Amino acid sequence: MTAVDDARALLAAPAIGVWSAPGRANLIGEHTDYNEGFVFPFAIAQRTAAAVALRDDDVIRVRSTFSPDAVEVPLGELDARIAAGGLDWAGYPLGVAWALLREAPDATPRGVDIALASEVPVGAGLSSSAAIEGAVASALNDVWDAGLDRVALARVGRIAENDAVGAPTGIMDQMASMLGVADAVTFLDCRTLETRAVPLGFADAELSILVTDTLVEHAHSTGGYRERREACERGAAAFGVSSLRDLTVDDLARAEEILDDVTFRRVRHVVTENQRVLDTAAALDADGPSAIGELLVASHASMRDDFEISVPELDLAVETTLASGALGARMTGGGFGGAAIALIPTGLIPAATEAVLAAFAASGFRTPNIFTVTPSEGARRDA
């Protein structure tokens, strides 16, 4: 059964439609999005589905395969419930409803039942939250006649995540989930929200993306992520610019002079990561996917040493896949757990998988979940 089937089965009434949105993997460009920089994510085949039924009242009721408990809120009380917090997983779909009504004042809201089912691993750094947001936003956009385009729906998801859930993330995840293209990566300028689909050509190059989900769960609404964002804001303020997007590698010598060590290293990661995204896009255009491995490795080292968001399990996954023949590897997502990706010749996947499993067992780590991801299309109506 697919997520679409599971969502439909979970719904207590006949569905008027089922919408879905994918998780995402980020090829390169971490913690650059909220600094108005550049990112390079792609939508994955694993999706979250939202089945919707109409109600005769003004209540929005959400339930999911994540929890046995349904949550009901009258539409007129959404503001108060969001402000009160404590909604747990329901904060994502209810936050989307709340944000969509703010962004589309001409919408015609009505009561709905929403049932959610997901194939995207939770806490793996593959943005299960953006998949929820994209599926629900796409559904309510149609059902409530909101008339928002895909970029506007990505903004709705970000508002839900930032203001309803309290996770200070950027817009990369939502844009990737909404705008994904099969066999392509999305080059996104997070300042202008301009995008370009860059073909990957993995199949022709006989390459794949292997994901090692360490099963070390992270939470963006907790302190580590927020502290990194605040350090970036301090660095920008010291230079009198609106964001670190306005700095280049040439500014780093001055940054080291005027910033404390920790803030400097946070700034150095963002500035060099922006350059790595630009270099990756250029390498893909000129030479194809085989040319980007060293950039992925450098990105991981920067996140490990300068931004300090890796964990031993992620480092081991990266080291082991590289030793098993991967061209490049890095942690992906917000860090403090989650997943690592490896760009690897397809024929080496079985041996690399065994090597990672053995390395984790030898280190006493929890057995990871290892699988491949395929660049896939973004949010859609499935039924």
List the catalytic residues: 173
Angle formed by the axes of helices 128-143 and 150-159, nearest 10°: 120
Report the amino acid identity of residue 123: G
Helix (H), strand (E) at residue 63: strand 59-64
Q: Label the pairing between strands 184-189 and 195-199.
A: antiparallel
Q: Judge residue 253's burial from the number of C-beta atoms within 10 Å of its C-beta, 0-12 exposed, 13-18 middle, 19 or more buried.
A: exposed
Residue 199 in contact with residue 183, Cβ under 8 Å? yes
d(CA 123, CA 26): 15
Can you name the residues that pair with 20 across neighbouring β-strands? 49, 380
Tokens of 372: 């491949």
Tokens of 140: 């309510």
For residue 307, what are the contacts with CB-CB under 8 A and spacing of at least 6?
30, 31, 228, 265, 266, 269, 270, 335
Residues in Cβ contact with 16 at an 8 Å cutoff, skipping those fewer than 6 apart: 52, 53, 54, 143
The rounded radius of gyration (Å) of the Cα atoms in the chain is: 21
Kindly give, in sequence order, each residue whose CB lies less than 8 Å from that of residue 357, ignoring residues fewer than 6 positions away: 367, 368, 370
